[in-house]
A and B are shown apart, each in its own frame.
Chain A
């Protein structure tokens, strides 16, 4: 087990804990740079992972670090995407201005949601954001002049300072740059007083307030920052999907973002990225196993004779080709994670790492959840 000998308070908030961690991240960065050469056929999928990671980081700041659950983040990514496309294509703004505008408008709408949210807690806030998202989705549908309404709005390829980012590889690097920027910005913010105030609010609002944290200011800031980041992701997302339609930004999309932060692991930026990898790649995995699983099942039951194998094959095949199966699998995974690993993929990884670094001395009880009879959120 490796310990860092701390000689100053500044070391508590360094970006990298020690040189090993820093070098690991540099190696990871180099690996990501060379990735398009290694797996050129998956570059498109991986850029989607990057965009989702940015969304995950955005929601992680709000939900994982500030403890405000938003069921309406699809609205923010939608606003970002539409503002960006409208500014870039209809108003002819340069790329940089269009992105800045998208971020600004989304952040402003974040403040708009955040202000009434200051007085709400828990589930009321979730419902308010949900209501906001549903209203915004209707606005996308009805405001034909800007959004193209139900017909949708085609998105041209990105051109930045005269350089076209139309090809998959170039777009990959654009997304990577944005993700790194977003992660760096967020990590810096989280190790600053702002980030600590957010965590304090998450852990106990009353305690934070009595320590002098201005709840209104920091909650609004969390909303604005989270929404702004989402707007940035929206600009990239618009290019990624190439066609904007209102029904993309539905409640289910918001839930997908929440799935991301929960499955990844609440309260860690790693978790946001893991969750994004999971959510973006699971559909790929499902569509591939749709073909493979019936064959395996057929082979497995083939030992009982050819007829049994064929029967099982066709039954399993019919089952996995059902259209409604995929959301169910997502739901089931969510349920299993909440029940068995509330800390998500990152939490599991932390446990595994601790197991090996403290090998014979690992105690199961280290991560045992404290059981409480009831945590009332009502006053009586």
Chain B
């Protein structure tokens, strides 16, 4: 029983990270219909930026956290304004290739700027744990779960109660109609890229103490993809649930199945779900109108 509780806790923490990255995919997809394959690399940039502020410049952890979010969010907005806006309306394939190329460029940039070594980010809750019965609760994992819940609450409030948030929802539902209603669609796009990049940065900083920072940190995006697709690409709740599912599956597969299943279990489940329900668990993609 304790093992299972322990696994659930760890799975939820890892799943939160997948969920956050998946959330980034979904936010961008819902609003702009672009699929951003470089989301994982934005996460990596976020983790590195925070590391740089903390270790190189001696900024406090929380300030560095905020700076990293702002920096990566600005970068995301800039990315949209300069590059990605030019491919709107082109086939999805072009966008996929473009963001894959951007991701490779980011990795290269990171390895040139910060070096290709593996770093540890010192945090106020590093390597501390509390015992609840026989379950050891690592503070890093608690930080991840709390951070995710807070972030989701903030995003929910933003999209539901603020004018900009509602405008974004409108843009996501119908760009042309939103434009006619006087919503600056282009600015909304940049803003959603900023939010999405910011979410990626949060995920990166939260992940950094658990999994060390290196240039290939972004490949976690592949699993987050599985999460996003599992939840149906257009559903925010789905992305989070998909992420948690993938995290739990991974933990249990790593413990109870033979070696090697830990890494592929998520993909196996993904293929099965896609074969049964091609639009994901909460997806709304249907027949294209001509």
Contact = CB atoms under 8 A, between A and B. Distances in A.
B229 A338 contact: no
B92 A379 contact: no
B112 interface: yes
Contact of A373 (B101, B103, B175, B279): B175
B287 to A, nearest CB: 6
A138 B112 contact: no
Nearest to B215: A324
Contact of B90 (A132, A342, A380): A342
Interface in B248-290: 259-260, 263-264, 267-268, 270-271, 274-275, 278-280, 284-290
A199 interface: no
A330 B263 CA distance: 27
Contacts, number: 169
A329 interface: yes
Interface residues of A, number: 59
Contacts of A132: 267, 271
Interface string B223-245: 00110010001100000000000
Interface stretch (B46-54, B80-88, B146-154, B156-164): B80-88
B83 A335 contact: yes
Contacts of B83: 335, 339
B102 A335 contact: yes
B89 A374 contact: yes
Contact of A374 (B98, B176, B289): B176
Could you say which of A124, A255, A332, A371 has the most chain B C-beta atoms within 10 Å of its C-beta? A124
Contact of B94 (A138, A255, A331, A342): A342
B109 interface: yes
A204 interface: yes
B264 A138 contact: yes
B100 A334 contact: yes
B100 A120 contact: no
B107 A324 contact: yes
Given A116-B271, A323-B111, A335-B83, A328 B104 contact: yes
Given A122-B92, A124-B229, A130-B222, A379 B271 contact: no
A131 B275 CA distance: 12
Given A69-B93, A116-B274, A123-B233, A379 B100 contact: no
A379 B285 CA distance: 6
B288 A379 contact: yes
Given A141-B260, A324-B107, A379-B285, A335 B98 contact: yes
A35 interface: no
Interface in B105-131: 105, 107-112, 116
A322 B287 contact: no
Contacts of B284: 378-380
A296 to B, nearest CB: 20
Interface in B33-72: 33, 35
Contacts of A142: 259-260
A259 B260 CA distance: 30
Contacts of A116: 271, 274-275, 278
B211 interface: no
Given A119-B278, A128-B271, A378-B285, A325 B108 contact: yes
Interface of B: 33, 35, 83, 86-94, 96-98, 100-105, 107-112, 116, 173-176, 215, 219, 222, 225-226, 229, 233-234, 259-260, 263-264, 267-268, 270-271, 274-275, 278-280, 284-290
13 contacts: A123-B233, A124-B233, A124-B278, A124-B279, A134-B263, A142-B260, A323-B111, A335-B102, A338-B94, A375-B89, A375-B91, A379-B288, A380-B284
Given A331-B108, A332-B101, 13 more contacts: A119-B275, A120-B274, A120-B278, A127-B225, A127-B229, A131-B268, A131-B270, A131-B271, A135-B267, A327-B104, A331-B101, A342-B90, A373-B89
